[in-house]
Structure 1
Amino acid sequence: MQLPDYKNRLKAVIFIVLCFFATSCGAPKVPHALSTLLERGSVKVGTLYGAATYYNGAEGPQGFEYELLAGFADYLGVTLDLYPFYSYEAMLEQLEEGNLDIVATGDAVTQALQDRFAYGPAYQTVSQYLVFKAGASRPNNIENLSFPVVAVAGSSQAHLLHTISSDSDVLVTTTEDSDSEELLQQVAEGDIAYTVADSNRLALQRRRYPNLAVASTLNETMPMAWALNRVQDDSIKAAMVEYFGTVHQSGWFTVLEEKYFGHIRQFDYVDSRAFNKAAERTLKPYKPWFQQYAGDLDWRLLAAMSYQESHWKPEAVSRTGVRGLMMLTMDTANDWDVEDRTDPEQSIRGGARYFASLLSRIPARIKEPDRTWMAMAAYNIGMGHLEDARILTERQGGNPDLWVDVKQRLPQLRQKKYYRTTRYGYARGDEALQYVDNIRRYYDSLVWLDEQQRI
């Protein structure tokens, strides 16, 4: 996803920054930090590996923090030099010594860190939770734990626990041998009893380990922001303020947040656990057909759709008469040469071809992944109703080519004051919204299970 061209606005903000740093008795002084960065032609950023920050995926670098940082570099017209660290403290020391311009960890900002570093604008807030394994005894109070709470050394969780333990007898252990995601895995597998995690990381890991449970909330709202060297001028910070203001105003930040977190905010323990079990026990005989008929699609996406449709039950029948693994109507089955909708191979073949046809009918100007999500919605409620939702989106001032805007209008298709103005009338649009969110969660889980060679 590319940012719009903000170069003219960048020139304006640099001019404003120049004026801000001008002295009252002489020529303006060029802000050192920003001018050095621009002359170098790169922004040096320290970060951590993780699903919520930065990792190398099948299609190259990915992660919420990575895309934000790449956008900022593009905004400045420079390259992004990213330096992943394995230690918070080592990374922060490099920032203090001037070897990094920014530190972006996807972690919350504590008072101790604010006393030590300058920060750009807060772009998200997270909660901090005490996490334990579901089925174990739920702790009533963090002060009465029988086992220590383990946190990553230097993290916001470690700082928070240090503050709590200074006022009470809380057993705390810090480590540099595991990251936050690994600690959550260790809790899920029973290797450690407790850890503290922010709401973003917990949501991401619960897709993989649905037995992660929240014992208590240790902090409701903590800001997330990029750290800067405290002794330098505020020129880079001013550019950050302008950048975040621009991406919020343009809607790009909301699109990015939806991409990484929009489908995982709601957690269903029973459903997540049942899906992971089914993926390991039920999917195997159908996997070759998903792979064979996926074509240009990711077979795991097709399999996730099938689970949402039928829970991988070939004989499944809905209340509306659709049947089979891919829940095809009689008309759709006829259109795609499916003679027996309950035959697994025929159903997968027909469903894959039908979904590919829907994808090809989505306007070419709509980019991925929005294009795929809209095609999923059309698979559920039909292309006509999807177009009705896009028209409602445009009428109400939203962008009909962005899923984050269209998804807000889908529930309106079952409200009379809206559907009576549409071409195709009433539809259960709220179910289509849930349909897409579920498939996205199932798909994320299948990708992870596949990488772990568990399916």
Structure 2
Amino acid sequence: MQSNSKSGSRRSLNSLVSFYSSKMLLISTLFIPFHSISASKSNQQPHFLSNPKLTVVAVDNPSAVFSKDQFQYGFGYDLVKTYAQNLNAELDFKTVPDNATALKLVAQGKVDFAMTTAKQTTIEEKQLTSFSVSCGNFNALTHNSLDTDLNWVFKNAEDQQTSRASGFICDSKMNGRLNQLASFYNRNTVKENEWDRVQDNLTQRLPIYKASFKQSAQRYDIDWHLLAAIGYQESYLKPDSVSPTGVRGLMMLTSNTAQAMGVNNRTDPAQSIQGGAKYFDLMLKKYEHVPAPDRHWFALAAYNMGPGALDSIQNKVQRLGKNPNQWLNVYDYLRNHQSSNARYKQAVTYVTRIRAYLEHIKTTPQLLNI
């Protein structure tokens, strides 16, 4: 047991440290922007968590959210989803037609906040407050062709809710999460000069196999656009494709996988698509404990490199003290080690390009109407 004099000295020292810490915080607020100062409050329990539901609206755009049919993901969306998880709150996320609608809902107090690309002058005119999702790290956005105007808009700058969110954003910048997320949603995954060739290939070949994609996708409850995107990444929708390692067919199945999936002829496009759909469905079921959209990224990576290889990476991620069931942690490991392992680089390219092809197919009227 320690003496009372030592305890008293420690209390005095703690009081002195607390006094100077509060003074330094007061001084720092005179020079640091609003979105940076609130990080110190990020661990406080805000009053709105008495109702553990976070209601957010956003305008559908490439930097904020891709929201079509069974899919809802994107740089902005994932950032909001992670914030809701940080609060241990249920996320109620909806898209709206335009920034004006989003700002109106904030002003009326019908949502906790909005994710928009509205200009600061417009936000101020409506007497609302906002901060950039980059917390000043605009390079992370510009490097990945994401919109630097993306912001979170709140009704009142003084709300504890606003302070908590601002702190979360700047914490994400400091711990590297923001940069990792921006990297995964890089809009340059497929180069601009490649899209004309992609469009020509899809326009010519997708109509031939669309019925098979839709039939197999319906059988396994998979979005057929995603199945087509996988097929395009695998073979450019060429049923006679073959790799140096012996995988072949439109969905590029190995001999063992084809046999396990009941495929007798890998070069038969209908059989190949059916076998690919069945195998992808097995991968989705393997990761059914992982919430969407991460589940799809895990399933795609496992389809590409094999579930055993992905299990090994998850184990390595876990040994680093990170959650192995969060795609961003696995993606970051793959990306950081891709220079020393070609399979890791291939998996990163595989998942991100399929995501880009999926978006292209779902948002191109010419392809949707064929």
> Is TM-score (shorter-chain normalized) higher than 0.5?
yes
Cα drift, residue 435 of structure 1: 0.9
What are the equivalent positions in structure 2 for 1:323-402 lying under 5 Å apart?
323-362=248-287, 364-402=288-326
d(CA) in 2 for partners of 1:245, 1:396: 23
Q: 2:236 aligns with which of 311, 326, 330?
A: 311
Pair 360,57 (structure 1): closer, same or farther in 2 beyond 3 Å:
closer
Q: 1:99 aligns with which of 101, 104, 108?
A: 108
Pair 269,350 (structure 1): closer, same or farther in 2 beyond 3 Å:
same
1:291 aligns with 2:214: yes
Q: 1:224 aligns with which of 151, 158, 169?
A: 151
Amino acid at match of 2:232: Y
Q: 2:352 aligns with which of 437, 448, 452?
A: 437
Gaps of 5+ in 2: 1-40
Amino acid at match of 1:289: S
Amino acid at match of 1:374: F
Cα drift, residue 57 of structure 1: 4.3
d(CA) in 2 for partners of 1:378, 1:94: 41
Q: Whose strand proportion is higher, 1 or 2?
A: 1
Cα drift, residue 442 of structure 1: 0.8
Question: Structure 1, residues 22-67: CA drift from partner, whole Å, max 9, x if none?
Answer: xxxxxxxxxxxx7xx8999998978656565578743598776667
Contact in 1 for aligned 2:145/2:186 (Cα 8 Å): no
What are the equivalent positions in structure 2 for 1:45-444 lying under 5 Å apart?
48=59, 50=61, 52-53=63-64, 57-59=68-70, 75=87, 84=96, 88=100, 99-100=108-109, 104-107=114-117, 110=120, 117=127, 119-124=129-134, 224-229=151-156, 233=158, 235-244=160-169, 262-294=185-217, 295-362=220-287, 364-410=288-334, 428-444=343-359
Cα drift, residue 84 of structure 1: 4.7
d(CA) in 1 for partners of 2:278, 2:358: 19
d(CA) in 2 for partners of 1:60, 1:383: 23
Cα drift, residue 246 of structure 1: 7.2
What are the equivalent positions in structure 2 for 1:4-15 lying under 5 Å apart?
12-14=44-46
d(CA) in 1 for partners of 2:105, 2:292: 37
Q: Which residue of 2 aligns with 1:175?
A: none
d(CA) in 1 for partners of 2:209, 2:360: 17
Cα drift, residue 327 of structure 1: 1.1
Contact in 2 for aligned 1:312/1:325 (Cα 8 Å): yes
Cα drift, residue 398 of structure 1: 2.8
Contact in 2 for aligned 1:103/1:227 (Cα 8 Å): yes
d(CA) in 2 for partners of 1:360, 1:203: 32
Cα drift, residue 447 of structure 1: 1.8
TM-score normalised according to structure 1 size:
0.56
Contact in 2 for aligned 1:377/1:435 (Cα 8 Å): yes
Cα drift, residue 325 of structure 1: 0.4
Pair 304,86 (structure 1): closer, same or farther in 2 beyond 3 Å:
closer
Number of residues of Structure 1 aligned to a counterpart in Structure 2: 324
d(CA) in 2 for partners of 1:330, 1:236: 55
Question: Structure 1, residues 229-252: CA drift from partner, whole Å, max 9, x if none?
Answer: 5xx745443243355467779998
Cα drift, residue 279 of structure 1: 1.9
d(CA) in 2 for partners of 1:118, 1:309: 48
Cα drift, residue 224 of structure 1: 3.0
d(CA) in 2 for partners of 1:370, 1:42: 21
d(CA) in 1 for partners of 2:146, 2:208: 30
Contact in 1 for aligned 2:65/2:77 (Cα 8 Å): yes
d(CA) in 2 for partners of 1:273, 1:358: 32
Amino acid at match of 2:302: A
d(CA) in 2 for partners of 1:44, 1:284: 40
Contact in 1 for aligned 2:300/2:351 (Cα 8 Å): yes
Q: Whose helix proportion is higher, 1 or 2?
A: 2
Cα drift, residue 278 of structure 1: 2.0
d(CA) in 1 for partners of 2:90, 2:291: 25
d(CA) in 2 for partners of 1:76, 1:64: 20
Q: Which residue of 1 aligns with 2:24?
A: none
Contact in 1 for aligned 2:65/2:74 (Cα 8 Å): yes
Amino acid at match of 1:441: A
Contact in 2 for aligned 1:118/1:228 (Cα 8 Å): yes
Contact in 2 for aligned 1:280/1:454 (Cα 8 Å): no
Contact in 1 for aligned 2:115/2:150 (Cα 8 Å): no
Contact in 1 for aligned 2:59/2:97 (Cα 8 Å): yes
Contact in 2 for aligned 1:399/1:405 (Cα 8 Å): yes
TM-score normalised according to structure 2 size:
0.67
Cα drift, residue 282 of structure 1: 1.0
What SS class does the counterpart of residue 226 from structure 1 fall into?
Answer: strand
What SS class does the counterpart of residue 104 from structure 1 fall into?
Answer: strand
d(CA) in 2 for partners of 1:345, 1:390: 34
d(CA) in 1 for partners of 2:180, 2:62: 17
Pair 200,105 (structure 1): closer, same or farther in 2 beyond 3 Å:
farther
Pair 92,452 (structure 1): closer, same or farther in 2 beyond 3 Å:
same
